[in-house]
Amino acid sequence: MAFWEKKTIGSGWTSVVLSADRISVACVTRGPDARLQVEECESFAREGSDLDALKRLKNAKRLARNHCTTLLAQGQYQLLQVDRPDNLPKDAPPEDLRETLRWRIKEMVDFPVDQAGIEILPIPPQAGRTPQLWVVAASHDSLRPQVHLFQDAQVPLEAIDIPELAQRNLAGLFEELNRGLALASFDGKGGQLTITFQGELFMARHLDVSGPELARPDAGGLHERVLLDIQRSLDNFDRNYSSIPLTRLLIGPLPGGEIFIDYLRNNLSLPVAVANLADVMDFAAVPRLQETAAQVDAWLALGAALRE
């Protein structure tokens, strides 16, 4: 089973995203005209156990495809940015690099590294900067239940991913040539900010404010807090990756978020716009995805389905 490897858009992948109160399923393929086609996408409230839900989906032929992927939730993994070990040659086997980093991050994670899954995602090198890597670490206590769940439902799970990389996949659809892109999204649990360039993840930050909170009429204080978090992240990115020009900040679908988005526009020097998935995907098979609320529910599932 593959964990967190580099993804490119292909066909035949179905993503299943399990959250505390919802289950989302999506499949995205590339059509003859090269446009992304959402073959199916559904998000519904959970009823019963995760195992019961997966069995129902399988019996209804919703998970009949050969390839299936899922996402870990916040708190089930740690995403760390570290310098590449300089004591290993550039052509060192991936296993050697993984084991070296396993022990380097020993004090950075809150679980024993000898009982964890470790995967590595290179960050493209930039002139004058020490080569860096993303390290994704998840304890076996988090991974094992996911694997067993799909095995018990007799659903062929082939990959486990994380939300930051699902959003990276979506960000790549909105990038402009040779320009970096900042993308912030919010759902019922919180938000995340990613910065990508040429389809690669360079920065990721969790935002501890949910979409419904930002949409409240009295959310001015939260607007200011998120603005400061975003501004600090943009400044930090500029200091570390000054050779990558950022041209805009996109905000993912956010029902009732017009006041918040206008606040960002008035207080950030970077242009701010709304990311509409209908601009980069064909929703003919699932027309309800034209609605903003439906895109919120499907956001991570669609991103996770953009796999090779």
Which letter does DSSP use for residue 72 in this model?
P
Looking at mean pLDDT, say which of 5-9, 152-156, 166-170 comes out highest: 166-170
pLDDT level of residue 64 (50, 70, 90 thresholds): low
Cα separation, 196 vs 36, whole angstroms: 20
Residue 11 reports pLDDT greater than 60: no
Looking at mean pLDDT, say which of 4-18, 62-76, 80-94, 274-288 comes out highest: 274-288
What one-character-per-residue DSSP string does 98-141 give? HHHHHHHTTTTSSS-GGGEEEEEEEEPP-TTS--EEEEEEEEHH
Instruction: Note the pLDDT of residue 45.
Output: 84
The DSSP element (H or E) to which 225 belongs, if any, is: helix 220-240
Q: Is the dihedral of CA 185, 262, 258, 226 positive or negative?
A: positive
- Which CATH architecture is the domain 176-276 placed in? 2-Layer Sandwich (3.30)
What residue segments make up the domains of the chain, in order of their start? 78-139, 176-276
Q: How far is CA 273 from the centre of its chain?
A: 19
Q: What's the whole-number mean pLDDT along residues 203-216?
A: 97
As assigned by CATH, the class of the 78-139 domain is: alpha beta
- Which of 235-265 are b and which e, b meaning 16 or more Cβ less than 10 Å from the residue's Cβ? eebeeebeebebebbbbbbbeebeebbebbe
Instruction: Note the pLDDT of residue 61.
Output: 67
Residue 32 reports pLDDT greater than 80: no
Cα separation, 122 vs 183, whole angstroms: 20
Instruction: Note the pLDDT of residue 136.
Output: 96
In the chain, what is the greatest distance between 2 CA atoms, to the nearest angstrom?
56
Percentage of the chain surpassing pLDDT 90?
Answer: 73
- pTM value > 0.85: yes
Residue 13 reports pLDDT greater than 70: yes
Can you give the three-state secondary structure of 141-161, one letter per residue? HHHHHHHHHHHHCCCCEEEEE
Residue 206 reports pLDDT greater than 70: yes
Instruction: Note the pLDDT of residue 9.
Output: 42
Instruction: Note the pLDDT of residue 12.
Output: 65
Percentage of the chain surpassing pLDDT 70?
Answer: 94
